[in-house]
A = this chain, B = another copy of it.
Amino acid sequence: MSLPISFISDFGRDDEFVGVVHGVIARIAPEIKVIDIGHEFDQGDIRAGSLSLMRAIQYLPQGVALAVIDPGVGTKRKAIAARTEWGVLIGPDNGLLAPAVAMVGGADKIVSIENPELQLPAPGSTFHGRDLFGPAAAVIASGQATLEELGPEVDPDSVMPMMLPLVEHGKQSVTGEVLWVDHFGNAQLNVTPDDLKLVGISQGTSIVLKIHTSEFPIEWVEAYGDVVDGEGLLHIDSYGQIAVAVRDGSAVASYPLDNGTAVTLRSGTPTLQIRSS
């Protein structure tokens, strides 16, 4: 029986790119189920796609993940397939797969996809999603080819990692950054509940959220319902990370936050600030 393919890309939905990849897969193996995870990432935003796939993977049915955010298409970067306990992840060797591979326990084998017999002939430039990655995903998911038939094994140490920002622990503070702003304006940090506990911050204590030079009082609560409408809060989000949110509102509308913004969290109340406006 065929395994499902979960598909993520930056192809957008304006053109037929996503549909054509679905079509190519269906021509190779009509019975395969393809689940679209997301195709609206900013063009070439490898980090955003890699984090999305990392968050999603444990909720996706075991099988094949097909990921194509590939600003280096047409250069020498490799195309890879990584075998894990979850299944096989397929995409460009640019770090896109790395966080998801790590999330499911690492890869026991990585190959470079090179077998020309498993690719579609292209009339001009290769559209790798259509001609190379899609077919590779389809033959692996349907069992028409083994990982080894895709191409030669590569050294895991030669594969591009994804550098994710580390949290800095101060004496009484934690400095991290915004990993992801979701559709609702919630700002997920790279900070975990344990990071906060390590510096003595717990639910119910007064906390200061420092963004650039501004300080905001904020509370770490259990749920949105613990604050009033329009008020900001810290909580453990649905992926287990600390996030800044606003009840019935948007954290990025209420605070000067965006992807990659550095934030510091510490116990206490904001320092008196004289603001000129």
Contacts and interface: CB of A to CB of B under 8 A. Distances in A.
A123 B73 CA distance: 37
Interface of chain A: mostly helix, strand, loop or mixed: loop
A6 to B, nearest CB: 7
A38 interface: yes
A223 interface: yes
B38 A238 contact: no
B33 A26 contact: yes
Nearest to A241: B124
Kindly name the residue among A22, A53, A76, A125 whose own CB sees the greatest number of chain B CB atoms within 10 A: A125
A60 to B, nearest CB: 4
Contacts of A56: 16, 19-20, 23
Contacts of A184: 43
A203 to B, nearest CB: 12
B61 A27 contact: yes
A127 interface: yes
A276 B13 CA distance: 40
Interface of A: 4, 6, 8, 11-20, 22-24, 26-27, 30, 33, 35-40, 43-44, 52-53, 55-56, 59-61, 71, 73-76, 122-127, 130-131, 182-184, 193, 223-225, 235-241, 247-248
